[in-house]
Chain A
Amino acid sequence: MMESIIPLLAVGELFPRGITPYLLGGLLVGLGAAIIYLATGIIAGASTFLESTLSYVSDVPRFNRFKYVQSRGWRLVFTAGIISGAAIWGLVLHPGIWTTDVQWWRLLGGGFLVGVGTRLGKGCTSGHGVCGVGSLSNTSLVNVATFLVVAIGTAQLVQALGVSP
C-alpha cells in the first residue's frame, strides 16, 4: 500500500495543480501555431510583433525593414487572436477578472529585459521554445537552454532576497 502511495505523493508535489491543464494548454498552443503554418507556411512567433508594431510609430530603420512592415498587419491580427482566445477562458471557462499580485516594478523591469532579450536573441518562448525546438534547431535549443537556466537562477535569487510575489 505505502509503496504505491509514495510515488503518487511525489508526483503530486512536482505538479500541485495536476498536469491536465498544462498538457491541454500546450497542445492548443501547438495547434494554433500548426493551423497558421499549414494554411500559410508562416512560422509565427509572438515577439516580432513588438518590433513590427513599432514601425507604425517610429522612423528607426531597423523597425522599418521590409520584413517587418510587410508582416505588421497580420501580426496585429495574430495578437488580437491571442487576446481573444484568452478572453474565452476569462469569460466562459473561468468567468471573472484575474489580476496578478506580482509587483509592478518586476513586470516593468522584467518586461523591458524581455523586450531587449527576445529581439536580440532572435525569438522568445514561442519562436525558439515551441517552433524552434519543434524544428530541432540547434540555435533554438541553445537559446532555450540559456534562458531557462538564467530565468531559474534569477527567480530563485529574487525569491531568496525576500521579494514576494
Chain B
Amino acid sequence: MAETERSPWFLPVIYVGGLVFGLGLAISGMARPEVVLDFLQFEDFGLLFVMGGAAVVTGVTFAIATRSLNRAPLTGSEYTRRLKDFDRNVLVGGGIFGVGWGLSGICPGAAYASIGIGNYPILWAIVGMFLGAYAQGYWRTLRAGDAADGVESTAD
C-alpha cells in the first residue's frame, strides 16, 4: 500500500465512503449527543438498529470478500477481517471510553459528523478527544520507551 502503488481513485473513494458514512451518522441521529444519551438512559432504543444495521452490512461484506474476492482493486491489498489481539487494555480502554461516552453522548465518528450538521459546541468534545489521545500517547511513550515502539498492536 505504498503511496506509489495507489490508484488515482484511492482518495476519491475514501472521500465518498466517508460521505456515505457521515450521512448515515446524521440520519441516524448519532451526530446528536441527546439521541445517544436517550439510548443510554433507556428512553429510546433506536441506537441498537444503528449499530446492528451497520454491523450486518460490514459482516456480510467481510464474509463475501474474504471468501470470494481476490484483492482490493485500488491497493492490491488482501481482504481480511478486523481481528485485534485481546489484552488488558481492551477492557481498561473500553471502560474509560464507556465513561466518556456516557458522560458526553459522543464518540469520534459521530463527533466529526456533528460538525457537518453545524453543531459547533461539539468542538469542546473534539478538543477533548485530541487532548485525551495525546495524553495516552505521551504517557504510554514515557512508560514503554522507544523499545516497545511498533511492537504493541493498536487500533483504528
Contacts and interface: CB of A to CB of B under 8 A. Distances in A.
B54 A62 contact: no
Question: Helix, strand, loop or mixed for chain A's interface?
Answer: helix
B47 A22 contact: yes
B61 interface: yes
Contacts of A43: 80-82, 156
Nearest to A151: B102
A29 B22 CA distance: 7
A114 B108 contact: yes
Question: How many B residues touch the partner, as a band?
Answer: 35 or more
Contact of B50 (A26, A70, A77, A157): A26
B150 interface: yes
Given A80-B18, A90-B117, A156-B41, A146 B101 contact: no
A159 to B, nearest CB: 5
Interface string A82-100: 1111111110011011111
B62 A60 contact: no
Interface string A102-137: 101011111111111111111111111111111111
Nearest to A152: B40
B74 to A, nearest CB: 5
Given A19-B49, A86-B22, A119-B137, A74 B114 contact: no
A117 B122 CA distance: 18
A99 B71 contact: no
B156 A48 contact: yes
Given A123-B155, A131-B58, A139-B90, 18 more contacts: A25-B50, A30-B24, A30-B54, A30-B55, A35-B17, A37-B72, A39-B13, A42-B72, A62-B149, A81-B21, A82-B112, A90-B26, A104-B124, A111-B100, A120-B136, A131-B82, A132-B82, A159-B41
Interface of A: 14-19, 21-51, 53-54, 58, 60-63, 65-67, 70, 73-74, 77-90, 93-94, 96-102, 104, 106-140, 142-144, 146-159, 165
